[in-house]
Amino acid sequence: MALDALRNYVQLASGLTDLTLQRAKQAAHAVTDQAEPLKALSPDLAKKLSTDLATELFATSKNNRDLLIAVIRSEVERMLDRLGVATQDDLEAVDSRLRRLDARIDELQSAAATKPAQKAAARKAPAKKAPAKKSASKRAPAKKAPAQSGPKKQANE
């Protein structure tokens, strides 16, 4: 019976189970119940020992559970890294960059939309041009159209 109580205590301290304070008190009480000479000597001391043992069991279990979770998490992250799988941090970084690029595209589109309006305003008031110089090139005389033979047909016939 004492071995079972001690085994239960060690299992709870390992952190493999989610231990409540009430369950820690029950396990500590089961261990201290096995110490009959201690109870006979001082019942108050046995009660204090049981309470202290329960508090320590609860804290140890929580710490061990946190350490176990940290070890498992680091191993999983290491394996994901080896496989080349993107982590949550990687996805958040890509998402952040995508948002910045979207904002930049919006800025460029706004700027491009205002440029045609500026060009149209510039076309309305063109700058004065210098008069063109006449060149002294020779022009060929215009050819006359050949004369039509016969009377013209009327369209209403």
Express each pLDDT in 38-70 by its tens digit. 666 777 887 888 888 888 888 888 888 899 889
For residues 130-145, give the mean pLDDT.
Answer: 59
Q: Which residue did the predictor score with more confidence, 83 or 121?
A: 83
The mean pLDDT of 6-32, rounded to a whole number, is 74
Using the structure block, give the residue that is written with the tokens 């070890």: 71
pTM: 0.47
Half-sphere exposure of 117 (CA within 13 A, CB side): 5
How far the first Cα of the chain sits from its last, in Å, is 131
CA distance 96 to 88: 12
pLDDT of residue 4: 73
